[in-house]
Amino acid sequence: MTRTEFLLEMEEILGLNPGTLKGQEKLEDLENWDSTALVSLIAMAESRSNTEITLDQVVSCSTVADLLRLVPLEGQPN
């Protein structure tokens, strides 16, 4: 999964137009960032990256960039 794909799928979860997220946004500022979005994001990230992501890891993230660091992305150092 690439960074762009991750952002696109996160936008889909949040009901945002494609291209809205740049990566530096604070999660608390995102309008639809709630428990349902969080659960959906974990399910998405786990299924697309084959990596187990705990709720604790996601809860400790404060920006979209933090979330991106949880997932092994193609073309990105981990």
Interaction site with other proteins (CB under 8 A) = 9, 12-13, 15, 34-36, 39-40, 42-44, 46-48, 54-56, 59
Measure the CA angle with vertex 53, ends 2 and 28; round to 5°.
80
Minimum CB distance to other proteins smaller for 54 or for 76: 54
Minimum CB distance to other proteins smaller for 46 or for 66: 46
Measure the CA angle with vertex 77, ends 72 and 78; round to 5°.
50
CA 51 to the chain's CA centroid: 13
Minimum CB distance to other proteins smaller for 70 or for 77: 70
